[in-house]
Amino acid sequence: MRISEWVRHNRIRCVLQQVELAELLSVSPDTVSRWERGAHAPKLEEFARLCLVFKASANLALGIPPRGKPVDYAALLTRLDDTLLGPPLERERRRPVRRRDRTRAASDFA
């Protein structure tokens, strides 16, 4: 489950509107909407507050198995990347790289 799906699932489970959740977290409703659409991921402190509001484990939200179970670290890191950033193709498509022209004419410095 991706972070966007986790936020939406738990918000609905807690019977909260996006506006209400935004007020509890001191963020704008647009921010909550972006999280749920997967356009942005919550910052670490916002994620911690989400876990408190939802009374949910951060480990389970990130897909980290409970103690005592064997951990495949390569699979875990891949899953964390996909959870936080989306699949690799989606990551590339989401943010096009914009490069500025760094060449300047001599008249720019006069």
Assess contact for 7 and 54: CB atoms under 8 A.
no
Task: Specify the CATH number of the domain 3-93.
Answer: 1.10.260.40
Helix (H) or strand (E) holding 44: helix 44-54
Tokens matching residue 53: 């509001």
pLDDT digits (tens, 9 = 90+) for 31-56: 999 999 988 889 888 998 999 999 98
CA-wise closest residue to 54 among 27, 2, 94, 16: 16
Residue 86 banded pLDDT, cuts 50, 70, 90: low
pTM of the complete model: 0.61
| Residue carrying structure tokens 């300047």 | 104
Q: Residue 18 CA to chain centroid, in angstroms?
A: 16
